[in-house]
Amino acid sequence: MSATPKAKELTEVSEAQIAVHWKEEEYYQPSEQFKAQANMRDPRIFEKFGLDRFPDCFKTYADMLTWFEPYHTVLDTSDAPFWKWFVGGKINASYNCVDRHLEKHGGKAAFIFVPEPEAEQDVTLTYRDLYERVNEVAALLRGLGLKAGDRVTLHMPMVPELPITMLACARLGVIHSQVFGGFSGQACGSRIEDSGSRMLVTMDAYWRNGTLIDHKVNADIAVRAAKELGQDVDKVLVWQRHPGKYSAKTPMVAGRDVFVNDLLKDYKGKKVDPVALPGDAPLFLMYSSGTTGKPKGAQHGIAGYLAYVTATSKWVLDIHPDDVYWCMADIGWITGHSYIVYGPLAIAATGVLYEGVPTYPDAGRPWRIAERLGVNIFHTAPTAIRMLRKLGPQEPRKYKYRFKSMTTVGEPIEPEAWRWYYDEVGKREAVITDTWWMTETGGFLGTTMPAIHPMKPGSCGPAAPGIHPVIYDETGAEVSKGSGTAGNMCIRNPWPGIMQTIWGDRERYVKTYFAKYNKNPKSKDWRDWPFLCGDGAVQAADGYYRILGRIDDVINVAGHRLGTKEIESACLTVPEVAEAAVVPVQDEVKGRVPEVYVALKPGVPPSQAVIDRVIKANEEVIGKIARPKHVYIVPDMPKTRSGKIMRRVLAAISNRRDVGDVTTLANPDVVEQIRVMVQGKDVTKTQDALPEDIAKFGQVE
């Protein structure tokens, strides 16, 4: 890492290496000016967080929080691998994100809300405003009978009422489960059921792409779906996007639906003491997709999670009290929970909260907002970068904002997109941190420390302090750095941000994240429990990791995790469909998009109507983000002799690659028929190797 290697092509490529054949990129150095001001400048930090200092090194993180009662144990491993961090102490997340800043930062903006319609005024919420509103909502929730440990489902858009509701829950110890606003009512309903929520908090409408969308309609579908699954919802709290006015067409249901603004009148000026909760009590659930059709509720605990996102907001995002920070992610995903709400608020940041799509009404919008509000730290995902680059490559030049640092998160970023981000958006001045992590990990795992490490386009860098990754092959042998070989990315040690369990499914937690490399299920020693992240990765000789994508059946669409099994079961809700197979396809903007293959029941003729129904089913069961790029009706699925669908073959066809040897299939002829249907008679195939996630796709069948 000290010497800059020349750009070099790997020349010798074995079969196992083909998928990771790539060019070494040049390093980019952070500016002296950036280095001089950074919160974390000490390279010895990595020694201080060495494995020999584990787990006590993480006391530094816990010390960044305010405790009601001190903890006595840093890490309790007695119920391995259900790690308990900072045990014995009492703490409250809402207190740490709001109350403790009142004295010094009460008048400072916590959030600047930017509505999507450009003519609508920004709304600034100071820490004092936030304190008052969080208290009133907490009083309201308590008035409705909620108490610590209860679950409440939120299905909210990007408005200040979302973090306000989350923090109100946290104040009481109520576990919030925010479902991404773009998910369908049905998807929300199944998450309500899994979490056992009796209350849903939503909003009547929100602006998206120039339209005020009726969102309340989803609440009705969600409550019905939950009931069908056996979970009753007694109360639906409805925020109004334009207070005092109902912006949805769907009627309110008497006795069940209530406007939050009406209820709040009884709680004006009310204060609720933040409940002193055990450090290892749950803070929230975040549902995410995995190998099966059922989303898993990642459960995050208060103290460990909060300590981790606080420290990484300070050291990696490098937020200072006078910065204006803007993360364009949606709070409905983990990035928004950790790096719009909990982390930045815990360090008294000023954050921009933007309601709408980045390209509305044009690709200059983000840069106008940045200029107007003086944003100097910017955080977004490769999909947004690719889209803004495509629609307005020179737009950033028209605006006078100045970023000192920028983040990319959620998907691998191609070096070309990285360079545009650096040259045009960052104006060759801002550092970029490529932060690799996931819902389950609470906060950043792979990243550079922006003032310590040089950047390398396309690689996330080494790892955050105290995170000790290892790449294992299928046999459990370590894949050495610089070998040019890919393997399964794991973390050797627990860290405070790691999820506590899958809500209601301990067994699935152990099986999904630990079973593969754990040799002794009875062990109480953390060393026996490497965490399987779910990504393939390769480590260059300099120690930098390049993430290749998911190894489970998850498709990362524009940074959103979608389970193929979830999409397939949505397709199977269409009565005419007998079998469905979903594969990822490379997409210039969104990274990956799903493509669907269906075989129809005997006697049903193929038709556009069936295709439309399949598309609609995906939008209804999951949401618009699951809309397939194509739906192909095939005469039969390519299958093994034992009857398993060969998704790998379909993925090769969809991505215009060689299907390989298919002679051992039960029905090899169908492969050529499908190929012609998808690619046309004589389409020339690309010779490029398939990206690792697609190449490996469907291998575990």
Between residue 1 and residue 60, which ones bind ligand WTA under the rule CB under 6 A?
Answer: none
Tell me how far, at minimum, the Cβ of 478 lies from ligand WTA, in Å.
Answer: 20
- Cα 401 vs. chain centroid, distance in angstroms? 27
Between residue 303 and residue 362, which ones bind ligand WTA under the rule CB under 6 A?
Answer: 333-335
- Beta-strand runs (E) in 423-553: 431-435, 469-472, 487-491, 501-502, 531-539, 545-550
Buried b (16+ CB within 10 A) or exposed e, 35-67: eeebbbeeeebbeebeeeebbebbeebbebbeb
The first and second tokens of residue 437, run together, are 């992590």
Run of H or E residues at 300: strand 296-301
Query: What number of chain residues touch ligand WTA (CB under 6 A)?
Result: 22
Residue 306: CB atoms within 10 Å: 32
Q: Give the one residue of 290, 410, 494, 623 binding ligand WTA; rule: CB under 6 A.
A: 410
Nearer to ligand WTA, 207 or 545 (CB): 545
Nearer to ligand WTA, 355 or 434 (CB): 434
Q: Give the one residue of 204, 411, 568, 692 binding ligand WTA; rule: CB under 6 A.
A: 411
Q: Is 183 among the residues that bind ligand WTA (CB under 6 A)?
A: no
Q: Is 412 among the residues that bind ligand WTA (CB under 6 A)?
A: yes
Q: Is 288 among the residues that bind ligand WTA (CB under 6 A)?
A: yes
Nearer to ligand WTA, 555 or 652 (CB): 555
Tell me how far, at minimum, the Cβ of 332 lies from ligand WTA, in Å.
Answer: 10
Nearer to ligand WTA, 174 or 329 (CB): 329
- As beta bridge partners, residue 126 has 109
Q: How far apart are CA 111 and CA 652, in angstroms?
A: 46
Tell me how far, at minimum, the Cβ of 30 lies from ligand WTA, in Å.
Answer: 18
Nearer to ligand WTA, 137 or 329 (CB): 329
Nearer to ligand WTA, 373 or 381 (CB): 381
Q: Give the one residue of 132, 220, 424, 434 binding ligand WTA; rule: CB under 6 A.
A: 434
Nearer to ligand WTA, 626 or 637 (CB): 626
Nearer to ligand WTA, 201 or 327 (CB): 327
Tell me how far, at minimum, the Cβ of 437 lies from ligand WTA, in Å.
Answer: 5
Nearer to ligand WTA, 171 or 550 (CB): 550
- Count how many Cα atoms sit within 13 Å of the Cα of residue 383 in the half-sphere of its side chain: 18
441 by DSSP, 3-state: which?
Answer: helix
The region of 166-174, 240-248, 433-441, 640-648 touching ligand WTA under the rule CB under 6 A is 433-441
Tell me how far, at minimum, the Cβ of 445 lies from ligand WTA, in Å.
Answer: 9
Q: How far apart are CA 565 and CA 700, in angstroms?
A: 13
Q: What are the helix and strand counts (H, E) for the chain?
A: 22, 30
Q: Tell me the per-residue interface mask from 380 to 399 with ligand WTA, x by CB under 6 A, - otherwise.
A: --------------------
Residue 131: CB atoms within 10 Å: 21
Between residue 453 and residue 492, which ones bind ligand WTA under the rule CB under 6 A?
Answer: 460
Q: Is the dihedral of CA 35, 40, 46, 48 positive or negative?
A: positive
Q: Is 428 exposed, middle or buried (0-12, 13-18, 19+ CB in 10 A)?
A: exposed
Q: Give the one residue of 438, 538, 600, 611 binding ligand WTA; rule: CB under 6 A.
A: 438
Nearest 5°: the CA angle 675, 681, 685 is: 65
The first and second tokens of residue 150, run together, are 């209860």
Between residue 489 and residue 548, which ones bind ligand WTA under the rule CB under 6 A?
Answer: 534-535, 547
Tell me how far, at minimum, the Cβ of 552 lies from ligand WTA, in Å.
Answer: 9
Between residue 76 and residue 135, which ones bind ligand WTA under the rule CB under 6 A?
Answer: none
Nearer to ligand WTA, 464 or 645 (CB): 464
Run of H or E residues at 286: strand 282-288
Nearer to ligand WTA, 557 or 610 (CB): 557
512 by DSSP, 3-state: which?
Answer: helix
Assess contact for 396 and 426: CB atoms under 8 A: no
Q: Taking each helix axis as running N to C, give the angle between helix 216-228 and helix 185-195, from 0 to 180 degrees, rounded to the nearest 10.
A: 50
Nearer to ligand WTA, 161 or 535 (CB): 535
Which ranges of 7-63 would DSSP assign to H, the alpha helix?
A: 32-37, 45-48, 59-62
Tell me how far, at minimum, the Cβ of 166 lies from ligand WTA, in Å.
Answer: 18
Tell me how far, at minimum, the Cβ of 408 lies from ligand WTA, in Å.
Answer: 6
Question: Identity (one letter) of the amino acid at 530?
Answer: P
Q: Give the one residue of 185, 290, 443, 549 binding ligand WTA; rule: CB under 6 A.
A: 549
For residue 184, give the nearest of 366, 385, 377, 332 by alpha carbon.
332
Q: Give the one residue of 178, 556, 569, 655 binding ligand WTA; rule: CB under 6 A.
A: 556
Assess contact for 582 and 697: CB atoms under 8 A: no
Between residue 214 and residue 243, which ones bind ligand WTA under the rule CB under 6 A?
Answer: none
Tell me how far, at minimum, the Cβ of 502 lies from ligand WTA, in Å.
Answer: 13
- Residues lying near ligand WTA in the complex (CB under 6 A): 288, 333-335, 409-412, 434-439, 460, 534-535, 547, 549-550, 556, 561
